[in-house]
């Protein structure tokens, strides 16, 4: 959702360098989140019993989620 808001905000009133950078950052974060989610879904689907979430992946997922939330708040304000 933050990526869509970033694109909308960046393109509203014309394209600027700062708007393009924010848009690219939000889109990159969103793609990172999707990659992490896909990896987790693949692991869960491959086994009958869910494996423990690796600390590295959990940390990456939390950081990307928080970064997306910060982008969303920045766009709303």
Distance, CA of 15 to CA of 20 (rounded, Å): 7
| Helix (H) / strand (E) containing 16 | none
Domain count, the chain: 1
The verdict on pTM exceeding 0.95 is no
pLDDT tens digits, one per residue of 23-71 = 778 888 889 999 989 988 888 888 877 778 889 988 998 999 898 888 7
The token pair that represents 54 in the structure block: 């690796």
SS3 for 48-75 is: CCCCCCCHHHHHHHHHHHHHHHHHHHHH
Return the pLDDT at 38.
93
Range of the domain at 18: 2-76
The token pair that represents 66 in the structure block: 């928080």
């Amino acid at each position: 959702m933050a990526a869509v808001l970033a694109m909308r905000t960046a393109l509203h009133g014309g394209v600027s360098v700062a708007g393009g950078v924010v848009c690219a950052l939000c889109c990159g974060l969103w793609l990172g989140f999707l990659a992490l989610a896909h990896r987790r879904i693949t692991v869960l689907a491959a086994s009958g019993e869910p494996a423990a979430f690796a600390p590295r992946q959990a940390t990456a997922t939390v950081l990307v989620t928080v970064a997306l939330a910060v982008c969303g708040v920045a766009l709303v304000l």
